[in-house]
Each structure stands twice: as C-alpha cells, then as structure tokens.
Structure 1
Amino acid sequence: MHAMQYELTLPADYDMEIIRRRVAHKGHLLDAWAGLGLKAYLVRERGVHGAPVNQYAPFYLWNTVAGMNGFLWGGPFQGIVDDFGRPSVRQWSGLAYQEGVAARSPARAAVLRTRQVPDGVPLTDFMADAVRENERLAGADGAVLSASAVDTSRWQTVHFSVWDNDTPKADGDLYEVLHLSAPGRDRLPC
C-alpha cells in the first residue's frame, strides 16, 4: 500500500463551491481506476471547524505503484496541474490499513495527523505504536476506516482516518469528505 496527498491551499476569499462542483462533476472518474484502493476528496473551508485555510487536499491509498504512476503521468492529475499548477505530492509507505466499526457508513469527515519519528527510538517500536494507533482509530465509534503510513525521507508518520460524522474521535486536521472513490478498498492490506 502506498499513501499519497497533495494540498492546494487557496485564497482566503476563494469560492469553495468551485471545488465542490469540480468534485461533483469529476469525482466519479476514479471510481474504477485500476490500482487505486481509495481516494478521499477532502476540503477545508477557512473558519469552518477551526480550519485556518481554504484547501483542497485529496488523500489516496494505492494498491499498486502502476496505478499511482498512471494517475500522475498521463492521468487525471494533469487536470489539477493545468488548472492550479503543479503541487508537491507527498508519498508514504503504508504501515497499516483497517476497516472501521462504521465501515458501511457514508464518509463525511476525515482527519490527518502527522508525527515526527523521534531520534533515538527503535524504529520497530515506533512503527508498532503507529499500527496500534491505527487499530485504536478504526475501533472508535463512527470510524469508517483508518490507515497509517511513513515518509522515510522526513521520518514522519501519517494517520488518516475517515468518519461517518462531523465530530470524529481523532486529533489532527479535520476535512470534509466530498466523495470517496474506492475501487480497490476491499484489496487494501490489513
């Protein structure tokens, strides 16, 4: 499993309905994308739920590198580049994925939290803690799914969780989920 995200931070007065219409019009295009586990179309609106910025920040879990590369090099990503410029794309190696206790519920919110891997800590211990945190998140009321991954270039972990409500039981940056494309969700490794 590979995790990926890019963030488009938009002006404070940006009409976020433009992003909502874009996702409503194009979101379904990845509903059958080969190699994609899932894509959560995420937004934050400045001043809503404490968000400091307007942002479009989709988060992906890939089952295959070929699917990810096909998306980035000749797929729908070119539309983002054409319309907004080329954003920096973060990538993480997957550590854990788990369906949540509310797995069959619609996705309404997502939480992303990054943590630095401290120096001097045995990596196996830290990563085992990250996997346990993933399990804890997936077991919380309202959890649709949870994933954890690590960026070894920055030595950071990311915890990504999706919820069926607007008040998730997780710490981190809160996003609204506009759409969830999940053609290979059932094949993401647990």
Structure 2
Amino acid sequence: MIAAQYSFTLPATFPMSDIETRVRNLGHKLDSFPGLGFKAYLLSTQQAGSKINRYAPFYLWKSETGLVNFLKSDGFRGLEDSFGRPQVIQTLPLTVYTSDQIKQATFAVRDSIPVYPDNALSDLFEQEDTLGSLQKQDTNCVAYVASLDTQGWELQRWRFYREQPDEIQECENMVIYQVGNISIGSEGNESAY
C-alpha cells in the first residue's frame, strides 16, 4: 500500500464553488479505478474557517502500480492542464482502517507529527496500531490512515468522519477538510507499468 496527496493553494478570491462543481461532475471517474483503495476529494475553504483555500485530494493505493497508472491517465493530465503539475507526496501506511460506510465521510482531519531521531520506530508502529483500534470504536469515524513520510520524517494521521467532531479545531499541525466525494477502487487486475 501507498498513500499519496497533492495540494493546490488557491487565492482568497478563487470561487471554491468551481472546485465543488468539478468534484461533483468528475469525482465519479475514479470509481472502480484498478489499484485504488479510495480517493477522498478534499477541500478547505476560508469560508468554512480555514486559513487558506485549498484543494488537496488524498489517495490510498493498494500498490505503486495503481498510482503509476493514475499518473499516466487522462484524468491526471486534465488536472495538470487545469492547475499545473503538483508535487505528489507519497507516504507509507502503517495502520489502515476503513469501514463499509466510508462514502458517508463529510469531514477529514490530517494531523502532522514530527518523528524525531530519538523516537523508536517500533514504538511508533505499535502506538499507531493501538490508535487505529481506538478509531474503530468511534461510530463517527469511517476511516483512519496513519502513514509515515520517510523523507521528511513526519507521521500523518488521517481521520475521516461522517460529521465534524465538535472538539476539533484547525491549528498549526492540523488541517480540517470538507470531503466533496469518496471514490472506491476496484479489485480488478492492474496492468503492469
């Protein structure tokens, strides 16, 4: 498995309704994409209390082959034509929980936590397994992904919710997103690249 995200920061005057319309009209195109676990079409807007306007999809891929095939696709080419080529950040999933109600997600939260050299990685992996088990017990949480950026040594915790939890507020190491759509990939055969 591999997690990936890219992000476009948009001007304060950018009509975010254009992104919402784009997601509504094109979001279904990745449904059943081979090798895709799921894609969350994520938005943060100043209108909803975020510091900046951002379009920042998150992907959970079953393999690198699915990601490579997506990067070669007409869909990614269309994204490049509209917004430019993004930097695609790839991370290694440590813990993944997805419920069968994942398509009901309306909010996502990403926590970014530095992993320092004195942090034992084996302890980190064990800790994330425990946190993942706890998320399964939260009836509002429909997915949880903890992934590790081994280039910048940062842990990313992704939580996907049916409704925005009251106690969560955006801060320096946390971003709250609205979920415009969730696409679920297929179990089908991935062609080799």
Amino acid paired to 1:123: L
TM-score w.r.t. the length of structure 1 is 0.89
Amino acid paired to 1:136: L
Equivalent residue, structure 1, for 2:158: 160
**Helix, strand or coil: the match of 1:76?**
helix
2: CA distance, partners of 1:105 / 1:80: 23
Q: Deviations over 1:38-59 (max 9, x none)?
A: 00000011141x3101110000
Closer/same/farther in 2, CA of residues 156 and 24 from structure 1, 3 Å limit: same
Amino acid paired to 1:160: W
Equivalent residue, structure 2, for 1:43: 43
Q: Deviations over 1:92-142 (max 9, x none)?
A: 011111135x83671111111111112212110122112222222332230
Equivalent residue, structure 2, for 1:122: 120
**Does the alignment pair 1:69 with 2:68?**
yes
Equivalent residue, structure 1, for 2:18: 18
Equivalent residue, structure 1, for 2:190: none
CA apart distance, 1:169 = 6.1
Equivalent residue, structure 1, for 2:184: 182
TM-score w.r.t. the length of structure 2 is 0.87
1: CA distance, partners of 2:140 / 2:47: 24
Equivalent residue, structure 2, for 1:188: none
2: CA distance, partners of 1:104 / 1:55: 22
Pairs within 5 Å for 1:87-166 = 87-100=86-99, 103=101, 106-166=104-164
User: Once structures 1 and 2 are overlaid, which stretch shifts more, 16-25 or 171-180?
Assistant: 171-180
2: CA distance, partners of 1:28 / 1:105: 12
2: CA distance, partners of 1:118 / 1:128: 16
Closer/same/farther in 2, CA of residues 126 and 143 from structure 1, 3 Å limit: same
RMSD of aligned Cα (Å): 1.9
2: CA distance, partners of 1:63 / 1:132: 22
Contact 2:102 2:182 in 1 (8 A): no
Deviating 4+ runs (over 3 angstroms): 102-105, 168-171
2: CA distance, partners of 1:140 / 1:169: 14
Count of aligned pairs = 183
User: Once structures 1 and 2 are overlaid, which stretch shifts more, 36-45 or 70-79?
Assistant: 70-79
Structure 2 runs not aligned, ≥5 long? 188-193
Closer/same/farther in 2, CA of residues 29 and 40 from structure 1, 3 Å limit: same
Amino acid paired to 1:18: D
Structure 1 runs not aligned, ≥5 long? 186-190
User: What is the percent sequence identity of the aligned residues?
Assistant: 32
